[in-house]
Amino acid sequence: MTHTDFLPVNRNDMTKRGWDSVDFAYVIGDAYVDHPSFGHAIISRVLESRGYRVGIISQPDWRDPKSIRVFGEPRLGFLVSAGNMDSMVNHYSVSKKRRKTDAYTPGGEPGKRPDYACVVYGNLIRKTYKKTPVILGGIEASLRRLAHYDYWSDRLKRSILLDSGADMISYGMGERSIVEIADALSAGIPVSELTYIAGTVAKVRDKDRICDAELLPSYEEMRSDKRLYARSFYTQYLNTDAYTGKRLAEPYSDHLYLVQNPPAEPLSTLEMDDVYDLPYMRTYHPSYEARGGIPAVTEVRFSLISSRGCFGGCSFCALTFHQGRIVQARSHESLLREASLFTKEKDFKGYIHDVGGPTANFRHPSCEKQIGQGVCKKRQCLFPHPCKNIDADHSDYVTLLRKLREIPGVKKVFIRSGIRFDYLLADRKRDFLRELCRHHVSGQLKVAPEHVAEPVLSLMGKPDHSVYQRFTGEFSQMNEKIGKKQYLVPYLMSSHPGSTLKEAVELSEYCRDLGYMPEQVQDFYPTPSTLSTCMYYTGMDPRTGKTVYVPRDPHEKAMQRALIQYRNPGLYDLVLEALRRAGRMDLAGYGPKCLIRPGHGRDQGAGRSAASAPGERQVRKKKKKTIRNIHKKK
């Protein structure tokens, strides 16, 4: 039975529903938002739809054990999630400075969740409820499910399952695994026996109970040898597919193994529809209104999640580990129903902010064989070139966008999720590009070439720069054809593994030739469970074993970032030092190709032409003075 209301957040709410207890108490690091863009909303509503009673404990005071006793001891167990982001990414910038706001907290107030939230919440529960099952889920637990490099402590950490005191992890998109866990617990099966469920990580004390598993290096071995960690990570990377993935076992002692079962199967379109058609309230809990609401809701409130999964394969992205490479999509009917709900809300102004997912223009698996057979283990769909078997067809997405535009009350449908321009170009038809430019761009389209230098792009898993140049040309031509002036805003990344000052200078020259200086530059952020983070920690590419240059020194990283923003007078000294170190002082001078001019940084006006350089001005003044003197003598 479902209710058209928020789930209980306190004992009074529970009593109003006629419950004397909950089956699951869901502890979350975010504020309670009952919207399908929030993982806790989906999992709690899926459980509710199966008849389970779920109570929400949002942002408990981790210093006070009473904060997790809101509903008493749950019948089946505690669910624990740090929230929609890893708590450390939520708290700290790449320079490890504390962030001043938290978009997932009432009024954007920071400090309402602890660092390493899953670990802290798990131990908080264990202090009070010694034997109650604790199941971790969400992005933080999912990406830290086995031994992992932790950027903030700069060391290899054990699985979060061990440090948290929890019993198991539901990793990835957990709709299937959480229901199977709930049904097993409800049937009286001890949590210690649940070592077999797809999409979970469990503890096993007896090696003889582990069947058909590939043994990874032990945690202690990996701590002492980074090469072993790189090998282990790549093994995990090759086993992220539900159809081809093997069971993996990571030893911690002779009597403790962590078993990662293969990922849960992707949801069918019908199953996706069922998940997104559940009775969400589609906003934050009303108790937050007086404190300013939840900032993160603003962008997603009138956005549509049309798909999940990504076969893009960017090395710095964790989607392969979390959602997998097989794209799953909702039906047009489900999306149209949700969009129609927007038009009934008083705050809706006629603008759908986004229709997408991890990659907006992925609406189906990259090729037919993936359904039932899985993805290729050691081949990418788009890198280094689109596979000859790729199904680069945007017709379904184009049809969907047209239907959404026709809904009464909808004025404009934007696409703000990232698009893969190489996949767009692989489609011989240009219907999507035409529709995109004509209807779905608000003057500027954000795209992510990330870099221009081949050594960096190859490690990023991104296409050659010539592909992006081809896209920019076609984008420009299409806008000219339809009579619009629209521009591309490229996302660029500094200090990615493989980027020396030489490659950083190459990127700055591209910005110069483009006449573009980004206000913000993303410095590479080593978040858990990405290929790029493994490179950062080990200094090698786990796919090849080859050594990779890694810019770790904060000063060098500042120089690489400054080169992209070379027009900023405040960064003059950093740019000058970077050019000296790179042996590119030819770019410091008065020529049209120079990045900076000799002299003090504050005199380097952005966009000032070479003709107005200080030396040129002095010459012109001297000439004018000479001419005036001649006229006086006459």
Average pLDDT over residues 143-158: 98
CA nearest to 37, candidates 405, 294, 318, 398: 294
Cβ(208)–Cβ(215) under 8 Å? Answer: no
> What's the start-to-end Cα distance of the chain, in Å?
103
| 429 phi, psi to nearest 5 deg | -80, 155
Helix (H) or strand (E) holding 578: helix 572-582
Whether residue 506 is predicted with pLDDT greater than 70 in this model: the reply is yes
Give all strands (DSSP E) within 348-450, no chain letters.
351-352, 354-356, 412-413, 444-450
**CA separation for the pair 603, 576 (Å, rounded):** 14
- Tokens coding 140: 């933080």
Please, which pLDDT band fits residue 521 given cuts at 50, 70 and 90?
A: confident
The token pair that represents 508 in the structure block: 């700055």
Please determine, for residue 471, whether its predicted confidence score (pLDDT) is greater than 90: yes
Q: Reply yes or no on whether the pLDDT at 618 is more than 80.
A: no
Q: With contact defined as beta carbons under 8 Å apart, do 498 and 549 qualify? A: yes
**Can you give the residue ranges of every domain in the chain?**
11-260, 302-442
| Torsion region of 483: left, alpha or beta (phi above 0 gives left; psi -120 to 50 gives alpha) | left
Let me know if 181 is exposed, middle or buried by CB neighbors in 10 A (0-12, 13-18, 19+): buried
pLDDT over 70 at 612, yes or no:
no
Per-residue pLDDT at 601: 57
Quick check: 1 pLDDT over 70? no
- Write out the DSSP string of 180-203: HHHHHHHTT--GGG----TTEEEE
**Alpha-helix residue ranges (DSSP H) falling in 137-242:** 138-143, 160-164, 175-186, 219-224, 226-237
How confident is the model over 133-149, as pLDDT tens digits? 999 999 999 999 999 99
- The residue behind tokens 């490099």 is 149
* Higher local confidence (pLDDT), 447 or 517: 447
CATH annotation of 11-260: 3.40.50.2300
Say if CB 540 and CB 533 are below 8 A apart: no
Type of residue at 409: G
For 499-567, list the strands marked E by DSSP: 522-523
Q: How do residues 370-405 score in pLDDT, each as one tens digit? A: 988 999 999 999 999 999 999 999 999 999 999 999
Averaged pLDDT score across all residues of the chain: 93
Contact 374, 317 (CB under 8 A): no
Burial, 597: exposed, middle or buried (Cβ in 10 Å; 0-12, 13-18, 19+)? buried
The topology (CATH level 3) of 302-442 is: Transcription Regulator spoIIAA (3.30.750)
At 196-243, the pLDDT tens digits run 999 999 999 998 889 899 999 999 999 999 999 999 999 999 999 999
Identify the pLDDT of residue 517: 83
The tens digit of pLDDT for each residue in 297-337 reads 998 999 999 999 999 999 999 999 999 999 999 999 999 99
The pLDDT value recorded for residue 519 is 75
The answer to whether 531 and 497 have CB atoms below 8 angstroms apart is: no
pLDDT recorded at residue 631: 43
The predicted pLDDT at position 144 comes to 98
Q: Percentage of the chain with pLDDT > 70? A: 94
Q: Maximum CA pair distance of the chain?
A: 112
Categorize the per-residue pLDDT at 32 as very low, low, confident or very high, splitting at 50, 70 and 90: very high
Q: What is the pLDDT of residue 600?
A: 56
Whole-number pLDDT of residue 275: 98
Nearest C-alpha neighbor of 79 from the set 191, 188, 169, 185: 169
β pairing state of 200-204 and 256-260: antiparallel
Per cent of the chain over pLDDT 90 is: 90
- Residue 606, pLDDT score: 41
- Note the pLDDT tens digit of each residue in 564-601: 999 999 999 999 999 999 999 999 999 999 999 987 55
Kindly give, in sequence order, each residue whose CB lies less than 8 Å from that of residue 322, ignoring residues fewer than 6 positions away: 139, 142, 143, 171, 172, 173, 529
Q: What is the mean pLDDT of residues 409-435?
A: 96
Q: 344 is written with which tokens? A: 């009934």
Question: How many helices (H) and strands (E) are present in the chain, helices listed first?
Answer: 24, 22
Residue 519 vs residue 5, higher pLDDT: 5
Kindly state the DSSP code that residue 99 receives in the 8-state scheme. P
| SS3 state of residue 251 | strand
Which distant-in-sequence residues (6+ apart) come within 8 Å of 234 by Cβ?
A: 534, 542, 543
The residue among 339, 304, 334 whose CA lies nearest residue 410 is: 339
Q: Write 322-325 long-range contacts (CB < 8 A, 24+).
A: 322/139, 322/142, 322/143, 322/171, 322/172, 322/173, 322/529, 323/172, 323/173, 323/358, 324/172, 324/240, 324/241, 324/242, 324/263, 324/266, 325/240, 325/241, 325/366, 325/370, 325/375, 325/381
Q: What pLDDT was estimated at residue 623? A: 41
Peptide bond into 449 cis (omega under 30): no
